[in-house]
Amino acid sequence: MGFFIFLYLSFLLFLFHPTSSRQPLCHDSERSALLRFKESFSINKFASGDTSAYSKTALWNLEEDGDCCSWDGVECNEDTGYVIELDLGSSCLYGSINSTNTLFNLVHLHWLSLADNNFNHSKIPSEIKNLSNLSHLNLSWSVFSGQIPSEILELSKLESLDLSRYSWFDRNNELELQQPGLESLVQKLTNLRVLDLGGVNISSSLPHVLTDLSSLNFLSLANCQLKGIILSSFGNLKNLVHLDLSTNNLWGELPPSI
């Protein structure tokens, strides 16, 4: 008898809360933003270097599936339906990106990867600041160039930032971090655990404030045209598991405490 009472009560709960276990559909504005983002690029298999790359946006289709939360590379908050993760790494995207791109309308994003695509030497738009909730940003190997905008310093919640390129060639089309420089970046983004700027033209000495980022566990500044002495305070970075300072004009010794 107890079992049947349990079933009856369960049925009543379902009856009066029919949507409690359903994930909400994505919002119309964000669905539209994603579709317009898709339309702003062509698909080119040579735009990604990964041999397993494929177009994650190819099946984004309003007619066949209007719920963008189920689209490849998209993840939504289970309670609100807002897009919080967008993983379009190695998606064969080719074309320029500018300040009017609807990507920057996805203001609820926590996690964004556009790694291993080809944005045709675009500058990183200053509208990146609209994505103020980001904790993870990966724009590596995606053919951006020019000065990294100061607005990226406004993403104060960032825990992981990867802008690496690792190109030993074509210095005419590279990312630069000079105005603002590395010192300004680490002063503003104090929550970083991962910082990969490999191949970015920094052209400065290592700022002492870099070693104040006690939460860092991954740091790569390889091939950044750094110069000067290696900081003795690197030993302060007790949580480091990866450190790469290769292919720079640095001298001195790493402290034994590291």
61-74 burial string, b = 16+ CB within 10 Å, else e?
eeeeeeebbebebb
The tens digit of pLDDT for each residue in 152-180 reads: 999 999 999 999 986 555 566 689 999 99
Question: CB–CB of 110/133 below 8 Å?
Answer: yes
Domain count, the chain: 1
The candidate with the shortest Cα–Cα distance to 166, out of 221, 114, 92, 210, is 221
Indicate the length of the chain as a whole number.
Answer: 258
The tens digit of pLDDT for each residue in 68-100 reads: 999 999 999 999 999 999 999 999 999 999 999
Higher pLDDT, 102 or 258: 102
Domain holding 115, by residue range, is: 25-251
Question: CB–CB of 47/92 below 8 Å?
Answer: yes
Q: Which residue has the tokens 């020019």?
A: 146
The tens digit of pLDDT for each residue in 200-221 reads: 999 999 999 999 999 999 999 9
Q: Does residue 222 register a pLDDT over 90?
A: yes
**Quick check: bond before 180 cis, omega within 30?**
yes
* pLDDT at residue 19 in the model: 44
Q: Is residue 241 part of a domain?
A: yes
Q: Give residue 249's pLDDT band: very low, low, confident or very high (50, 70, 90).
A: very high
* pLDDT at residue 257 in the model: 84
Q: What is the CATH number of the domain that holds 88?
A: 3.80.10.10
Q: Which amino acid is at 32?
A: S
The candidate with the shortest Cα–Cα distance to 34, out of 78, 93, 80, is 93
Q: Is residue 3 part of a domain?
A: no
Q: Is residue 71 part of a domain?
A: yes
- Beta-strand relationship, 74-76 and 160-162: unpaired
Q: Is residue 125 part of a domain?
A: yes
Q: Give residue 18's pLDDT band: very low, low, confident or very high (50, 70, 90).
A: very low
Q: Does residue 17 register a pLDDT over 70?
A: no
Q: Is 71 helix (H, G, I), strand (E, B) or coil?
A: coil
High-pLDDT (> 90) share of the chain, %: 80
Q: Is residue 9 part of a domain?
A: no
Q: Is residue 5 part of a domain?
A: no
Q: Which residues contact 41 (CB under 8 A, 6 or more apart)?
A: 57, 93, 94, 95
Q: Is residue 10 part of a domain?
A: no
Q: Is residue 57 part of a domain?
A: yes
What's the mean pLDDT in 239-258?
A: 92
